Chains A and B, each alone.
Chain A
C-alpha cells in the first residue's frame, strides 16, 4: 500500500516515517508539511491508499483539506488533541485517529483497520445489517417478547433494569451486565455504569451525553471511545 504523511511538525513526520518503514506492506510515496501541497500531489498521483494527516496545521487544517477533496483515499488522522474524535468520524474516509506521541502498538492497530477496510468490497461497505432479533424477559411470571429494534435504551435501577422502548417501559429483575450479554454488541453500547443505549436510536452526541428521543443519556469518559468506535462501524 502507498501512503503519504502530512504534518507541519518535523518530529511527527520522523516518528511516522519510522513506523511506516517498519510496516512491510506499506511504503511512503511522499512527505508533506502542509495540506495545500497534497492537493497538488493528489491531482497527479492516483492510486494512493492511505494519508496520515495532521489536523492542526497553520492556514489550512486537516479538516479543511478533507472538506475540499473529492474521493479521498483512506485517512488516519494524527493529532495532539484527544477531543476531536467526534468531528473526525463525520468523514467516511477516516479509519482511525492517532493521538501523538504515537506508539508502535497503536499504529499497528490503525493499520489493521486500514487492511480490514481495504478487504471489504465496495458493494458491502454501506450495507447496514437489519436487526431482527428479539429478547424474552420475565415479568410477573410471564415471558414477554421485546423487539430489539424497538429498544431506545436500558437503565439500571437497583436490583432491576428499565428497558425503555418506543411505546412503553419494562421493569425486569436482572442486572445491566447480564442483559448486555444477551444483546448484539455492534448495536447496544454501554455508555455509563447505569446505561446501555441502542446506537441506531442516537439523535446526536455531545461531549458527555447522547440524545435519544427526548432523553439525555450520560456518557462516561471510560465508555466514550467505545461509543465513538461503535457508531463508526454502524
Chain B
C-alpha cells in the first residue's frame, strides 16, 4: 500500500545538485555538461508531457513521466520520485489523480533550473 508519507516529505524537499557533485568529484567541466544535458532534456520532456496531457494521449504521458522521473532522481528529490512513480502506475490504469502533485514537482524543478541559469 502506498504511504501518505511521501506527500508530506515532498512538500519540504528541494531540488539539489548533490548527486551530480558526488558523481563529478570536482570535475567542473563534467558537472557543467551533465547539468546542461539535464536542463535541456527536462525542458524538452516537460514540454512534450504537457502536449501529451492536452491531447489526453496516455501512452505518451506515461513515456514522458517515466523520462522525467530520471530527472527528479537526478535532482535528489527522493519523495517526489515516489510520487512520480505512483503517478506513472496510475496512468497505466488510465487514471491520473496525482497529476496536480506531479505538476507541483515540475514547477519546483523549473524554478530551480531558472536559478541555475541565472548563475
Contacts and interface: CB of A to CB of B under 8 A. Distances in A.
B23 A15 contact: yes
Given A10-B41, A11-B74, A58 B63 contact: yes
A18 interface: yes
Contacts of A58: 63
Interface stretch (A99-107, A122-130, A131-139, A151-159): A99-107
Interface residues of B, number: 20
A9 interface: yes
Contacts of A9: 41, 67, 70
Interface stretch (B8-16, B31-39, B106-114): B31-39
Contacts of B22: 103-104
Contacts of B73: 80, 100-101
B7 interface: no
Interface residues of A, number: 16
B74 A80 contact: no
A171 B58 CA distance: 54
Contacts of A15: 23, 34
A109 to B, nearest CB: 15
Interface of A: 9-12, 14-15, 18, 56, 58, 80-82, 100-101, 103-104
